[in-house]
Structure 1
């Protein structure tokens, strides 16, 4: 159930291994392609590799290759206290989900998959659980989600932590500091929210996404009820000019990519119990953001969906012909939770709060120490890495001291080598 990143990736993966797969979507490929934007996906190297492994990376040559991730922190007078660019080990990419999901849906059908265009109900699932070996729910909204109870111990928030507003645009200029580098830009405005800017491939070609995340009730929380796309863009730009003028200065000539290029909303981050129990006694397994839905502040939604689909595919293949019972469902989710879900949730929830002093020190140090900037940027690909240096003040201090020492040693060695070369030159 569900034709998003995880549902379609898993369906295509199972199909490629010879499984008979039925996919339920509430929209056709054409309805998805011509509809409203659905997300702000930026997928990093590990998630992209899962698509390559299934040979469904159809847009890799067309989509911008994102080689950096930059962080800027605004001052109260709209200046920049911090501004740096970390380099990614492997490039990231963003493909508008209207392009990708429509294309994958067509591919699934072309390869002989059974597609049912229908919004599934709990009653439908009751029937399917008796008809199919395994039913997976990858539709993150609506009635079906209510079957999966909230895991209070893993869900510290019971209300939305950000008001979200997205616009896809053509005509954005490059950042003058690094005009040659395609990069995601994370602009943090303390006490107000965040603006993310990312290159993407949309239905009309190369574009950029402008994505505001505002603290509820704050100055960015003004998009609720704005239906007119032009008004949405005007608001986006007005807020950019006020809070992040360095980004606004390259956005003065932008225009929306299409009539469906804006999106606004909010949702509470939540972790749910992975197994849904049906009235008739059957069981279904939740996938990706049905069971682990994080705020998009760390850009992990589509990455987690791809990793969840890959993890579940592996668990299904390893299980062979044995029944997909409750024990298997729990073990399958646990494997995904401990490798991906938990590290992503911990990091995302930390970024939603007021950053403690040691985190501010870390982000500031990245401006002077390129290895720190690079490591932070690559944490978006592997959030588990933050565990060793991000959460504990002592770990952060030890890590920064280690990098500073290595940097000083490298500088001294370079100076010594330069002096030696100069001495040899004068001896000649």
Structure 2
């Protein structure tokens, strides 16, 4: 029986653990938070997951919230009119072919952890640093680090060639609310882009107290949306959220007239630089650790790909481990496994990083032309499920114009 250790109990590590456990591997998860700690803690992310990522969970039998979680049925895009900020210069929406979901990780991860232990996995509560990694790598055939935060993640070397930014590009905030008025016709991720100020998007979710909506604020540092640093209480955080919408996005402010926080822990703020790290960590002893998920590729949430990337990375790593059989988990295998994932993730990173800069001619043409083309709006909405389909049009004006022409005459089924 091969033994695998996973440090971190999140969206990337847990599916790998369940997949290996089902195939007869001895699997241990190391985490410093118990299921009750997670349930009773602060919200961790916004985690809107599209169909391909949800399929990873479904294949492993981990989709326990399909009947409870309110569906996300489309994507909407709005750009305020610079001359009349209370009106929209661009406004379109497109239906998803397959629904998305956003389940609060305080709901999902504790349940998964408890189920993992029930199925025979080893759940070990421990703070893991270098000394602990040295011990773990001696005891297990393969050690993966799948934690997205903490000092241990910083042990992985930043990949300067693959990392565009070395500073946070947005001041980030999450606000989980009840009482938001729904969008007409169908539920959606409602994206609002305010040049020079930042972005706001909101979508339905499931939290501890039932269906809710998650507001996500992305503020240009130092600008009027960089306003949550001094909001030290839940009430202050909610007031900053709603007051911003009333001032800058009145149509969203109208929807939020009667909102209240889902719970006293239903908010978060902070900032981090989007970073790609080298996937193999060499310990002082010479033993090696493989990075997974946010430990090695962490994106700004502006494109909503974090949990999607994590699930897709989990599938790649799980397949690679199972296909490897009794082979040694050496440095070459680790690097090759990561590169298989990077073949997909590099385009997601490029797309996400581009959204943090002023739009290019090609991306602006696509985003604005979708208002007159339901087929293009449908294409762009569904690209969130598989972002590589955006290329080369996202970066190449000729390809963008060809895509616009191609979709102009197409019709979309209601």
Q: Please report the TM-score for the alignment, with normalisation by the length of structure 1.
A: 0.93
> Match of 2:175?
167
Deviation at 1:389, TM superposition (A): 1.7
What number of residue pairs does the alignment pair up?
404
* Matched position secondary structure for 2:322: helix
Q: Does 1:141 align with 2:149?
A: yes
Separation of aligned partners in 2, 1:403 and 1:314: 36
Separation of aligned partners in 2, 1:237 and 1:166: 12
Deviation at 1:89, TM superposition (A): 1.1
Separation of aligned partners in 2, 1:312 and 1:45: 19
Give a deviation string over 1:32-62, Cα, whole Å, max 9, x none.
0111100001000000000000000011111
Separation of aligned partners in 1, 2:122 and 2:402: 55
Separation of aligned partners in 2, 1:168 and 1:57: 22
Separation of aligned partners in 2, 1:221 and 1:237: 14
Contact conserved, 2:9 with 2:29, CA < 8 A, in 1? yes
Give a deviation string over 1:202-257, Cα, whole Å, max 9, x none.
00000001111000111011111322011000000000011111011011101000
Q: Does 1:393 align with 2:397?
A: yes
Q: Which runs of 5+ in 2 are unaligned?
A: 1-6
Q: Does 1:158 align with 2:160?
A: no
Deviation at 1:403, TM superposition (A): 2.1
Correspondence for 1:357 among 341, 357, 361: 361
* Matched position secondary structure for 2:19: helix
Contact conserved, 2:231 with 2:240, CA < 8 A, in 1? no
Q: Which runs of 5+ in 1 are unaligned?
A: 412-428
Q: Does 1:259 align with 2:259?
A: no
Separation of aligned partners in 2, 1:50 and 1:356: 33
Contact conserved, 1:75 with 1:189, CA < 8 A, in 2? no
Deviation at 1:190, TM superposition (A): 1.1
> Match of 2:4?
none
Contact conserved, 2:36 with 2:110, CA < 8 A, in 1? yes
Correspondence for 2:371 among 367, 370, 373: 367
Separation of aligned partners in 2, 1:225 and 1:172: 24
* Matched position secondary structure for 2:99: strand
1:96-245 equivalent positions in 2, closer than 5 A: 96-175=104-183, 178=184, 180-245=185-250
Correspondence for 2:255 among 247, 250, 254: 250
Separation of aligned partners in 2, 1:15 and 1:351: 38
> Match of 2:3?
none
Contact conserved, 1:122 with 1:143, CA < 8 A, in 2? no
* Matched position secondary structure for 2:96: strand
Q: Does 1:11 align with 2:10?
A: no
Correspondence for 2:335 among 321, 325, 330: 330
* Matched position secondary structure for 1:154: coil
> Match of 1:65?
71
* Matched position secondary structure for 2:391: helix
* Matched position secondary structure for 2:326: coil
Separation of aligned partners in 2, 1:64 and 1:168: 14
**Greater CA radius of gyration, 1 or 2?**
1
> Match of 1:85?
93
Give a deviation string over 1:343-394, Cα, whole Å, max 9, x none.
1101001111100233222111111101110111111110111113211011
Give a deviation string over 1:104-152, Cα, whole Å, max 9, x none.
0111011111111111111100111111000000011222112210110
Separation of aligned partners in 1, 2:400 and 2:221: 30
> Match of 1:95?
103
Richer in helix (by share): 1
> Match of 1:268?
273
* Matched position secondary structure for 2:255: coil
Separation of aligned partners in 2, 1:147 and 1:345: 21
Separation of aligned partners in 2, 1:361 and 1:333: 34
> Match of 2:40?
34
Contact conserved, 2:48 with 2:102, CA < 8 A, in 1? yes
* Matched position secondary structure for 1:249: helix
- RMSD, aligned α-carbons: 1.2
